[in-house]
Amino acid sequence: MSISRRKFIQNSACISATGAIACSQNPVPAAVDLGEPSTNMRPLFIATWPFGKFSCEAAVKIATDSGSMLDAIEKGIWVTENDVKNASVGIGGIPNADGQVELDACIMSGPDHNAGSVAGIRDILHPISVARLVMESTPHVMLVGDGAKQFAIKNGHPETNLLTDQQKSNWQNWQRKQAKMLQQSQPKIDEDHHDTIAMLGLDSDGNLYGGCSTSGWGYKIPGRVGDSPIIGSGLYVDNQVGAAGATGLGENVMRHCGSFLVVEMMRQGAAPTEACEMAVNRIAEIDPKNLDNLDINFIALNKAGAYGAAGTSKGFKYSVSSPQGSEIIDAKAMSVKAIGPEGGNRK
Ligand code: ASP
């Protein structure tokens, strides 16, 4: 059921009276309308995790200087993809079980509802740029594996070794441990080593954009693809309503079209944080077998500039930047056990 435009504005918008970035859920001042968004916090970018702050800050600068939100999303995400110390995105990412770094990324442009994506791409430093190329220069939305890599090389992306010495040595240690666990027929996937940058942006005309990039689940089975490059799972942008992105255990997001679900909750009138909570609750209800290890987190930004986040991973935080400054914010921490037996939702 959709709600009236007025109720949507009351429920979801937030423009800080002081221009500070901290608020995300206050009612919008009467003067602010979806048709006339305030520009004092534009361009506005939010991203998963504290490391997303550097990407958001770069994105604000690029969008301000060049006016291109897509350049801002792409090159902002480059900052994280370039960081060799970040073990979950780009170079320095944890490899798969065979010791190969396989990357996933996608990008969306709200005004033309366009999207591009690559999955399981090896030896290419900037999968987000290849995703943008897929979006802008092909009739397709998604390329995978070697096809994606050859497409990138043909379009000028050099082959790059993404496995750092540190990650190679970690992988060798992991392999030694695996060899000892003879009873296991499948490699044990390292649940503690996965993070992703999902970034959402809003310009002064109220247009929304997003991007997502990850090396995925550490020591995954080769060929495994998570939620991050799947449009509607790791990222979704609807220029009429808002945008959402995910981080966490992709398998628990992609069976539920998680980011699409968050955006649809906003469409029905939920504020961004509330929409993220509703999506987590819905997933927990449908998926009770995974309740104890759900490990899913969402960020959301609506067309009026309100933003928020919620998730089940301990200490999940997100970053926000605009020309007014930057901030790292604690996401609403959800205990899915609380919506288990006591909440009556666990089946
Ligand atoms: N969602 C990513 C994946 O499953 C990893 C993460 O965000 O932690 O590949």
For ligand 1, is residue 295 a contact (CB within 6 Å)? no
CA of 253 to the centre of ligand 1 (A): 9
pLDDT of residue 193: 60
Residue 255: Cβ-neighbour burial (10 angstroms; 0-12, 13-18, 19+)? middle
**What confidence category does residue 79 fall into, taking pLDDT thresholds of 50, 70 and 90?**
very high
Of the candidate ranges 29-43, 76-90, 164-178, 284-298, the one whose mean pLDDT is the lowest? 29-43
pLDDT of residue 118 exceeding 60: yes
CA of 244 to the centre of ligand 1 (A): 15
- pLDDT for 320-340, tens place per residue? 999 999 999 999 999 876 554
Superfamily of domain 3-346: (Glycosyl)asparaginase (3.60.20.30)
CA distance to 31, 159, 296, per residue, from 260 (Å): 29, 33, 14
Nearest protein Cα to ligand 1, atom 8: 195
pLDDT of residue 12: 37
- pLDDT for 89-106, tens place per residue? 999 999 999 999 999 999
For ligand 1, is residue 247 a contact (CB within 6 Å)? yes
Average pLDDT over the chain, rounded to whole? Answer: 86
Which positions ≥6 away from 94 have C-beta within 8 Å?
87, 88, 101, 167, 170, 171, 190, 193, 194, 215, 218, 219
Atom of ligand 1 nearest to the CA of 225: 9
pLDDT of residue 28 exceeding 70: no
Question: What is the CA angle 325-128-233, rounded to 5?
Answer: 90
Of 43 and 194, more confident: 43
First-residue to last-residue Cα distance in the chain = 26
CA of 250 to the centre of ligand 1 (A): 5
Neighbours of 305 (CB within 10 A): 28
Closest CA to 244 of 218, 204, 212: 212
For ligand 1, is residue 196 a contact (CB within 6 Å)? yes
For ligand 1, is residue 248 a contact (CB within 6 Å)? yes
Cα distance between residue 221 and residue 265, in whole Å = 33
Domain boundaries, the chain: 3-346
Of 305 and 21, more confident: 305
pLDDT of residue 288: 77
CA of 217 to the centre of ligand 1 (A): 6
Residue pair 210/311 in contact by the 8 Å Cβ criterion: no
pLDDT of residue 8: 34
Of the candidate ranges 30-39, 143-152, 237-246, the one whose mean pLDDT is the lowest? 30-39
Would you please indicate which residues are annotated as catalytic (active-site) residues? 196
Closest CA to 241 of 282, 200, 281: 200
Over residues 218-232, the mean pLDDT reads: 97
pLDDT of residue 38: 53
Name the one residue in this structure whose structure tokens are 């080769």.
Answer: 222
pLDDT of residue 291: 73
pLDDT of residue 11 exceeding 80: no
**Residues in the chain, overall count:** 347
pLDDT of residue 335: 82
Over residues 259-265, the mean pLDDT reads: 98
What is the reported pTM? 0.87
- pLDDT for 121-179, tens place per residue? 999 999 999 999 999 999 999 999 999 999 999 999 999 999 999 999 999 999 998 87
For ligand 1, is residue 228 a contact (CB within 6 Å)? yes
Of 2 and 59, more confident: 59
Residue pair 131/81 in contact by the 8 Å Cβ criterion: no
CA of 294 to the centre of ligand 1 (A): 12
From 191, 196, 314, 318, the mutation candidate for ligand 1 (largest count of ligand atoms within 8 A of CB) is 196
From 217, 297, 298, the mutation candidate for ligand 1 (largest count of ligand atoms within 8 A of CB) is 217
pLDDT of residue 344: 42
Percent of the chain residues past pLDDT 70, beyond the cut: 81
From 195, 197, 257, the mutation candidate for ligand 1 (largest count of ligand atoms within 8 A of CB) is 195
Nearest protein Cα to ligand 1, atom 9: 216
Of the candidate ranges 8-12, 187-191, 246-250, the one whose mean pLDDT is the lowest? 8-12
Backbone angles phi, psi at 127, to 5 degrees: -60, -30
